[in-house]
Amino acid sequence: MALKVPEASLPLELTAFAAVEAAYPTEITRITDSLRAGLSVLVECDKELTPYLYKAVRDRLKKENRTFLYLDGRPVNDLPQLPPGTGLVGTIVAYLREAVRGAVDGRIITLPHLDLLTTSSGGLTSEAREVIPLLYENPDLGFLGFKDPSFPLPKVIENLFPRRESILGVPRNRLAHLVTQRESRKLSSEPTFSPAALYKFVSGVNAARLRRLLGALTGEDYPADPRAAYRQLRQATLVGQLTLPDVDLDKDIGGYAKVKQRLRQEIIEVLAIKDAAPDEAQMKAIEGLIPRGLIFWGPPGTGKTLFAKAMATSLGAAVTVVSGPELKSKWVGESEENLRQVFNRARQAAPSIIIFDELDSFATARGTYQGSGVEHSMVNQLLTEMDGFRKDELVFVVGTTNFVESLDPALLRPGRFEFHLHIPFPNKEDREQILRIYDQKLGLQLSPRAFDFTVKRTGDVVEGTTSRHSGDHIQALCRTLARMRLRERRSTATEVEDVEKAQAGLAERPALTPKEERVVATHEAGHAVAALFCPNSPPIERISIRGDLAGSLGFVSYADPANRYVVTRGQLEDHICTLFGGREAELVFFEDLSIGSGADLQRATDIARALVEDFGMGPQAVGVRKIDVDPDDPSVSDAMKEKIELAVGQILDAQRERARRLVTENKPLIVALRDLLLEKKVLDREALAQILPKTEKRDVMPEA
């Protein structure tokens, strides 16, 4: 259990000024000592903290007869009045011009709005350029400047301050001095206060703002469940586009057991151990182990952003989702400013997660940019922000990408994006669980047969694309089914025919003429019959002539092979034979060929060439060796190249003849299958079992 403080040791009342002095005593002392020694100080802090810090420093030095001049754009009694309409920046510059001249007697000029003298790119405004020489003119002057954390300062202004102090959020070890007894009673079920429990939600909030938030707490004293009070604080700390997601890692995300296990082990469980640490030293040690930069990579639509939101929900963290194109700007320095603002808001709302959607859109390897060049500066700014993380602030950066290999290597080193999580296309078990979630949420009432069919069907390539089904595709299919049931006012179970109908609505399919359909049906029947009599070919799952797969007019899909990781020569040869089955069926039945077999021929040639060149499984004339056939490589002779081409041709000819023999011997079966395809358009395993004979398939792997 985390350390707790007795309620009686907390203050009874606390003003904002007292809270600032209690929160930052060390920092205020350093600022005061530097000014006393004649050294100017630049303080980086939130705007609302500026007047409180100024008062704390001024009150300490007033006792030593030091005078302060606070230039915030309002009239100053000791300086001449300015004409109306001078403006805020004009007033600051005019008073600054007056203040630096003449005898100053140790005067300290306070500049609370240094950002007004700079542009968004960190350059100087036209007014500031006039006054910069004056800032360096009088060495007897002391300056106390305040800088917004999200705004850069040009070097010529920064160099004016030999001492710098950064005050961001509140220190954990000072939190017990910032909570009153009344407020503690809202945050605990017993008369004790846990700084670590509160710090998790206010680490990025400055002391002045924290006092306002705590003072506004409502609810009963010593509640049985203090989470309601923490939720009030959590909502109040949200700024900008930050939101609190509600995504349960198990209830809202189906499947992906290994991905969930790794996310829990590496992040969520480690943070839970940290929250329960018995002392500050152990808590700090654990914080040093937690990766702050995470890469979630994988194909589109697999739930990368959803996993990041589920992680945020588990941690009680706020989330902001930003994309590279939204951050980019044509104006110099504005893209970097946008990044600074994102990180600043996330720190103020910690615990938080910044999700950079499509991180590769601006963080590709430097030197490979094709854009305006602003990406280089954005990567540098991103690295700067991540290197500036404090160990005790819970701010995480999740970058999602489809092309992890294209990211800048500087981002992937330890200390930055060191945790990589691969989220692939869902396998059969994942699809079952994803479908089960949507079936329940959308009230689809899928019948057992329709459920199994949908799981198998979503194992294919998505209709009209070259991509496999992702979680997003499954969701789209289920939403289509839900809309269809709503229109039809259905209360009965969803059947296979409904799933087929819904899928038909998700893709545009070519309208074939009867003659074209006959050719396509014959072609696919040829593939199926060849596969049926090849002992190493996996079972057929589905045949379609509906034009619903990757732009093909028809296809035959197969079950996953029994041995997926060890591929034998027999399997590859049977695959070539099956690929030739469609082409040979066209020749046998029509004595002509369509160009539809072009892709089959290309794939067959690639496999045959791999057998010869890569695997040493070609004819004996070539020999058992790995051959790299490079036109510029003199180590492979012309004679060897000729042997390779001959060997590839021999493999293709042998399997083509084998396919033709299987087609010729089983013409009646092809006719029956073709006619059924023309009638049904799609045949699943159950329909095929009624027409295809059972053949004995031997296992391609020897017994151990």
pLDDT at 664: 94
Which structure tokens are listed for 521?
A: 């049906």
Q: Is the pLDDT of residue 115 over 90?
A: no
DSSP string, 636-658: S-HHHHHHHHHHHHHHHHHHHHH
Return the CATH number of the domain spanning residue range 257-422: 3.40.50.300
The pTM assigned to this predicted structure is 0.73
Per-residue confidence band for 165, with pLDDT thresholds at 50, 70 and 90: very high
Domain ranges in the chain? Answer: 5-12+171-237, 25-166, 257-422, 428-504, 514-689
| Over residues 539-549, mean pLDDT | 73
pLDDT at 704: 35
| In contact, 454 and 494? CB cutoff 8 Å | no
Which structure tokens are listed for 181?
A: 């007894």
| Domain 428-504 classification at class level | mainly alpha
Per-residue confidence band for 573, with pLDDT thresholds at 50, 70 and 90: very high
| Over residues 371-379, mean pLDDT | 64
Per-residue confidence band for 208, with pLDDT thresholds at 50, 70 and 90: very high
pLDDT, greater one: 238 or 299: 299
Which structure tokens are listed for 10?
A: 């907390």
Separation of CA 672 from chain center: 51
Q: Is the pLDDT of residue 698 over 50?
A: no
DSSP H or E run through 304: helix 304-315
pLDDT at 137: 74
| In contact, 612 and 659? CB cutoff 8 Å | no
pLDDT at 550: 47
Per-residue confidence band for 329, with pLDDT thresholds at 50, 70 and 90: low
Q: Is the pLDDT of residue 17 over 90?
A: yes
pLDDT at 55: 94
- Tens of pLDDT along 53-79? 999 999 999 888 888 888 887 877 777
Per-residue confidence band for 641, with pLDDT thresholds at 50, 70 and 90: confident
| In contact, 412 and 400? CB cutoff 8 Å | no
| Over residues 323-342, mean pLDDT | 72
CATH topology of 25-166 equal to that of 428-504?
no
Per-residue confidence band for 513, with pLDDT thresholds at 50, 70 and 90: confident
pLDDT, greater one: 494 or 412: 494
Would you call 280 a catalytic residue per the annotation?
A: no
Helix (H, G, I), strand (E, B) or coil at 59: helix
Per-residue confidence band for 540, with pLDDT thresholds at 50, 70 and 90: confident
Which structure tokens are listed for 535?
A: 């002992």
Catalytic choice (393, 500, 524, 541): 524
- Distance CA(259)–CA(419), nearest Å, equals 12
Per-residue confidence band for 1, with pLDDT thresholds at 50, 70 and 90: very low
- Distance CA(431)–CA(426), nearest Å, equals 6
Q: Is the pLDDT of residue 18 over 90?
A: yes
Q: For the chain, what is the mean pLDDT?
A: 82
DSSP H or E run through 397: strand 395-401
Q: Is the pLDDT of residue 164 over 90?
A: yes
pLDDT at 507: 57
CATH of 514-689, one of 3.40.50.970, 1.20.58.760, 3.40.50.300, 3.40.50.2000: 1.20.58.760
CATH superfamily of 25-166: P-loop containing nucleotide triphosphate hydrolases (3.40.50.300)
- 108-122, 238-252, 690-704: segment of lowest average pLDDT: 690-704
Helix (H, G, I), strand (E, B) or coil at 2: coil
